[in-house]
Amino acid sequence: MSSDFSTSHIALSSLESFQLGSSLLPRVWSGLWQLSSNAWGTAPLPRIREAMARHVGIGYTAFADHYGSAEIIFGQFRRSLPPDQHVFGATKWCVFTNIELSQELVEAAVKERMERMQTECIDLLQFHWQDYSDKGYLRALEILEGLQADGLISALGLCNFDSIRTDEICTQLGPGVISSNQVQFSLIDTRPLHGMADVCEKHGIRLLCYGVLCGGFLSDTWLNKPMPDRYSNKLTPSQRKYLDIIVGAWGDWQLFQDLLGVLKNIGDSYGLSVSNIATRWVLDHSFVGAVIIGTRLGISEHLDDNRRVNDFRLNDNDKAALEVVLNRSSGRHIITTIGDCGAEYR
């Protein structure tokens, strides 16, 4: 593996990768929620496209999610690439309200995604269903499976489904139909360790993880800094979401500082950043396919730093040092206080 981080055209083969359906993909994806509103700052479209091109140039060829205009911007960017350059686009179909399910309705939702992304086949469609008391999610997934068989979708995934429903769905649909579940997983939110990991193992699915850096709080930037005001307009929507978890369900700001201190010590021993260690901790779990790191395209960039997560592994001492802090937190109880994966949205 190359250790020259300045190299701009690095093949995927030199990055850590994993298989998702028929695609071999990098284990670090770029998340596009940060494109959805000017609360993260705004950049002109050409600058966003240039930033996307830089990601692709170093082998970060997978982009995720549907927020705001993200599908459209991604679709336009991908269209502009030479036909032999494959860039992977994951999107979502989210059902938040009770609906009258039909083949036509599901097909229309899928075709809308295809149109926005300018594609004949969606690389990964992740399905979210809000109300578990309505078992329509099973029927919806069967219809999506049919559309997959028709060639409209390559891989079918879930988003924010809990362990019980993920197991139910994978059992009902049979092996190989569902590829992934997108859930929150980080040093702060370890819920997938308590049930979801076993479900992934049982059905051969992988997690696509968000919240890995808690919106950027798990970085050198926040070490030895006072707790920010939740209502400060300097925080991004992402940081507001994770601050509530850090100082609410998980622990307090001082304990978080202790965690950053341990991450810093481990990072220093490898010449790496706090974010690298936090990302590696997630990637080191076998049920994790990829991390989806939020990217403020055209505004801030951590490409070279995040590239370094490919080149090292945490040892037992590193993991033990992190466990000492995690054991002082309420992290292990989040599954009972908030509920299993995705419960914070229900």
- Residues in region 25-64 near ligand NAP by CB under 6 A: 31-34, 64
Q: Which is nearer to ligand NAP, 107 or 240 (CB)?
A: 240
Stretch that binds ligand NAP, among 13-21, 164-172, 210-218, 255-263 (CB under 6 A): 210-218
What's the CA gap between 196 and 332, in Å, rounded? 14
- What contacts 24+ positions apart, CB below 8 Å, involve 257-262? 257/223, 257/224, 258/325, 258/328, 259/187, 259/322, 259/325, 259/326, 259/329, 260/218, 260/222, 260/223, 261/223, 262/321, 262/322, 262/324, 262/325
Contact status: 306 vs ligand NAP (CB under 6 A): yes
Given 50, 142, 198, 305, the residue binding ligand NAP (CB under 6 A): 305
Contact status: 289 vs ligand NAP (CB under 6 A): no
Binding residues for ligand NAP, total number by CB under 6 A: 28
- Residues in region 144-173 near ligand NAP by CB under 6 A: 159-160
Contact status: 281 vs ligand NAP (CB under 6 A): no
Using the 8-state DSSP alphabet, how is residue 327 labeled?
H
Stretch that binds ligand NAP, among 44-52, 187-195, 211-219, 225-233 (CB under 6 A): 211-219
Nearest to 162 by CA among 207, 124, 125: 207
Cβ 110 vs Cβ 153: under 8 Å: yes
Instruction: Report the SS3 class of residue 304.
Output: helix
Tokens of 84: 């032999």
Q: What's the min distance (Å) between Cβ of 35 and ligand NAP? A: 8
Q: What's the min distance (Å) between Cβ of 278 and ligand NAP? A: 9
C-alpha distances out from residue 65 to 251, 253, 272, Å? 30, 30, 28
Contact status: 212 vs ligand NAP (CB under 6 A): yes
Pattern 78-117, binding to ligand NAP, x per CB under 6 A?
A: ----------------------------------------
Contact status: 191 vs ligand NAP (CB under 6 A): no
What's the CA gap between 31 and 50, in Å, rounded? 16
- What contacts 24+ positions apart, CB below 8 Å, involve 6-12? 6/304, 7/58, 8/54, 8/57, 8/58, 9/57, 9/58, 10/57, 10/58, 10/59, 10/307, 11/59, 12/59, 12/61
Contact status: 264 vs ligand NAP (CB under 6 A): no
Whose CB is nearest to ligand NAP? 31
Contact status: 296 vs ligand NAP (CB under 6 A): yes
Given 114, 155, 293, 322, the residue binding ligand NAP (CB under 6 A): 293
Q: What's the min distance (Å) between Cβ of 104 and ligand NAP? A: 26
The residues binding ligand NAP (CB under 6 A) are: 31-34, 64-65, 159-160, 182, 210-216, 219, 238, 273, 275, 292-294, 296, 300, 302, 305-306
